[in-house]
């Protein structure tokens, strides 16, 4: 296949995500650990009381199912999609909306149903960035071919790739763009804010059963997963960043696995996307190539902001409000563009390394990280409609205490022990009363 035609196809796919500003929405995906309430150990996909059984129950209640063989691995209805991550983490993706109130209504309605189902099984949905009890060697990987292929491939890559697959949970937000210029501006700003989002929403105090001396474990894990496809892309800071630059990187990235004419995955290992991309009209394969990379900021037909650990309601909606207020307000975009006009990959990495050690006491853009976060919240307030500013209150209250979610967990852990700290991060029905 002619490389220029391949390049044009990927560029056009990303470009097809352009929307009119009045059609912008914001989306959120949340991964949860499902644990036994007595032992706090992870609940496997397998078994009569496993996550797979819960998916079958949800399917019987009317959700459409995605299967591989006899295994249900995902579900969806009009409001949301449920999927399972390699270590049986339970992911819920809400249908994207413009109004945060609409997102919250979908969240409350559906999460109440899920919590009730798990409660009956004596199981809890835990909102943490890393599993607080079960180690990854104890977790059986999900029965999904693509996960088997990824697990095999990552054996030869970063030494924390399997921690990523089986031990982590995240909150991810997606935003829209109106043009290539708008895409470039938002993509650059999101990368420049990478150290901030990792630090502000760090929620992983326990790592492989022990308190971690390092902060921002999610950032550390991704930097040690696969240099081809995770962390920050260096070109994200280039003055000539474009759809083309992103597409070129995708075409030259090892694909791990491809998809045959029967929509079945097959292993290709280090073979790059351009080496297997034969049909430029195969948008499914383009989507796969864009999805099998895991940078801090990912492009598809929207921009995914992927640095945040999973956090509990209502703080998760503070994160959504922060992103909406910053990225969907022209004044804030102009301010951030000017602020970061000289930001480099090297300076951003330096800030990441500082934050691993110091958290909110790190330095970012020559100021204290905590103060920078407070400044961003103030900016977001100015960028949100009046009825959505209240979503930032939980974030403001946390920052006024000089804390992030990890600090809050650590405080409970040291005062009351591991169980109480984990229970404080369980999603409960009373949390969802509105």
Q: Where are the beta strands (DSSP E) in 234-352?
A: 254-259, 265-272, 294-295, 297-299, 303-309
How far apart are the C-alpha atoms of 407 and 370, rounded to whole Å? 13
Query: How confident is the model at residue 108, as a pLDDT?
Result: 97
| Beta pairing partners, 265 | 259
How far apart are the C-alpha atoms of 152 and 389, rounded to whole Å? 46
The conformation of residue 33, written as its DSSP 8-state character, comes to: E
Query: How confident is the model at residue 158, as a pLDDT?
Result: 87
Structure tokens at 417: 């022990």
Asked whether 275 and 291 are in contact (CB, 8 A), the reply is: no
Residue 42's domain comprises 3-431
Supply the pTM of this predicted model.
Answer: 0.97
| Beta pairing partners, 207 | 210
Q: Give tens-digit pLDDT for 194-203.
A: 999 999 999 9
Phi, psi of 283 (to 5 degrees): -70, -25
Asked whether 220 and 160 are in contact (CB, 8 A), the reply is: yes
Could you read off the pLDDT tens digit of each residue along the chain, which spans 434 residues?
Answer: 799 999 999 999 999 999 999 999 999 999 999 999 999 999 999 999 999 999 999 998 778 898 888 899 999 988 999 999 999 999 999 999 999 999 999 999 999 999 999 999 999 999 999 999 999 999 999 888 999 999 999 988 989 999 999 999 999 999 999 999 999 999 999 999 999 999 999 999 999 999 999 999 999 999 999 999 999 999 999 999 999 999 999 999 999 999 988 888 999 999 999 999 999 999 999 999 999 999 999 999 999 999 999 999 999 999 999 999 999 999 999 999 999 999 999 999 999 999 999 999 999 999 999 999 999 999 999 999 999 999 999 999 999 999 999 999 999 999 999 999 999 999 999 999 86
| Number of domain units in the chain | 1
Rg of the Cα atoms in the chain: 21
CATH assignment of the domain containing 8: 3.30.590.20
């Amino acid at each position: 296949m002619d490389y220029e035609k391949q390049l044009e196809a990927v560029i056009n796919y990303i470009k097809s995500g352009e929307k009119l500003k009045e059609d912008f929405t914001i989306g959120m995906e949340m991964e949860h650990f499902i644990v036994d309430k007595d032992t706090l150990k992870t609940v496997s996909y397998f078994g009569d009381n496993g996550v797979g059984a819960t998916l079958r129950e949800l399917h019987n209640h009317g959700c459409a199912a995605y299967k591989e063989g006899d295994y249900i691995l995902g579900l969806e209805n009009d409001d949301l999609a449920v999927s399972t991550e390699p270590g049986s983490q339970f992911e819920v993706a809400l249908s994207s909306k413009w109004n945060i109130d609409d997102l919250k209504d979908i969240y409350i309605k559906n999460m109440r149903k899920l919590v009730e189902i798990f409660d009956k099984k004596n199981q809890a949905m835990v909102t943490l960035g890393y599993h607080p009890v079960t180690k990854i060697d104890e977790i059986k990987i999900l029965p999904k071919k693509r996960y088997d292929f990824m697990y095999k491939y990552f054996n030869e890559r970063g030494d924390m790739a399997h921690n990523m697959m089986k031990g982590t949970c995240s909150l991810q937000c997606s935003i829209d763009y109106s043009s290539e210029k708008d895409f470039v501006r938002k993509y650059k700003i999101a990368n420049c804010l990478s150290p901030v989002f990792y630090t502000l929403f760090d929620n992983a105090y326990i790592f492989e059963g022990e308190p971690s001396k390092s902060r921002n474990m999610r950032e550390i894990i991704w930097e040690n997963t696969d240099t081809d496809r995770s962390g920050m892309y260096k070109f994200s800071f280039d003055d000539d960043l474009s759809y083309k630059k992103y597409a070129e990187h995708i075409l030259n990235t090892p694909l791990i696995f491809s998809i045959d004419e029967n929509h079945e995955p097959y292993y290709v290992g280090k073979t790059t996307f351009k080496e297997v991309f034969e049909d430029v009209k195969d948008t499914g394969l383009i989507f796969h190539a864009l999805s099998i990379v895991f940078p801090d900021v990912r492009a598809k037909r929207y921009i995914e902001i992927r640095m945040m650990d999973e956090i509990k309601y209502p703080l998760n909606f503070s994160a959504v409000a922060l992103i909406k207020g910053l990225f969907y307000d022209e004044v804030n975009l102009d301010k951030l563009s000017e602020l970061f006009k000289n930001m480099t990959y090297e300076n951003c990495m330096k800030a990441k390394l500082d934050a691993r050690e110091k958290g909110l006491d790190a330095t970012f853009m020559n100021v204290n990280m905590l103060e920078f976060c407070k400044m961003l919240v103030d900016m977001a307030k100015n960028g949100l409609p009046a009825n959505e500013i209240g979503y930032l209150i939980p974030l403001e209250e946390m920052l006024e205490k000089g804390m992030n979610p990890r600090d809050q967990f650590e405080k409970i852990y040291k005062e009351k022990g591991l169980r109480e700290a984990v229970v404080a991060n369980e999603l409960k029905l009373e949390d969802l009363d509105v």
